[in-house]
Copies of this chain bind each other. A is one copy, B any other.
Amino acid sequence: MTSNQTRFRVRYAETDQMGVVYHANYLIWMEVGRVELVRSLGFQYKDLEQNDGLYLSVIEAQCRYVFPACYDEEIIVETSLAKVSSRTLAFSYRISSADPDRLLAEGSTRHIWLNREWKPTSLPESYRSALQVAVNAV
Contacts and interface: CB of A to CB of B under 8 A. Distances in A.
Q: How many chain copies?
A: 4
A104 interface: no
Interface string A46-85: 1001000001011111111100100110000000000000
21 contacts: A8-B8, A9-B32, A12-B16, A12-B17, A13-B22, A13-B28, A15-B16, A15-B17, A16-B17, A17-B17, A18-B55, A23-B61, A24-B28, A27-B27, A35-B72, A59-B64, A60-B63, A61-B62, A62-B62, A62-B63, A68-B118
Given A12-B22, A61-B63, A62-B62, 5 more contacts: A12-B16, A17-B19, A24-B61, A46-B72, A59-B65
